[in-house]
Amino acid sequence: MKSFPFDVHFERKLAPSNEIFKLIGQARNRDGVLSPIPSSYSFRGHNITIKSASYFRIVDIRVGKFSLLAIDTEIPAEVFNGYDSSIDFPAAQGQLIELHVRNIDKSPRNFMAVIHGHAVDLVS
- Of the pLDDT bands very low, low, confident and very high (cuts 50, 70, 90), residue 8 is very high
- Of the pLDDT bands very low, low, confident and very high (cuts 50, 70, 90), residue 85 is low
Model confidence at 23: pLDDT above 80: yes
- Of the pLDDT bands very low, low, confident and very high (cuts 50, 70, 90), residue 77 is very high
Alpha helix positions (H), the chain: none
Reported pTM: 0.88
Domain boundaries, the chain: 4-121
Q: In what order do the strands lie in the sheet with 34-36?
A: 34-36, 26-28, 4-14, 109-121, 41-51, 89-91
Tell the CATH topology of 4-121.
Jelly Rolls (2.60.120)
Is residue 46 within 8 Å of residue 88, measured between CB atoms?
yes
Which tens digit of pLDDT belongs to each residue from 25-39? 999 888 888 999 988
State how far the Cα of 117 lies from the Cα of 124, in Å rounded to an integer.
19
Which tens digit of pLDDT belongs to each residue from 41-55? 999 888 888 999 999
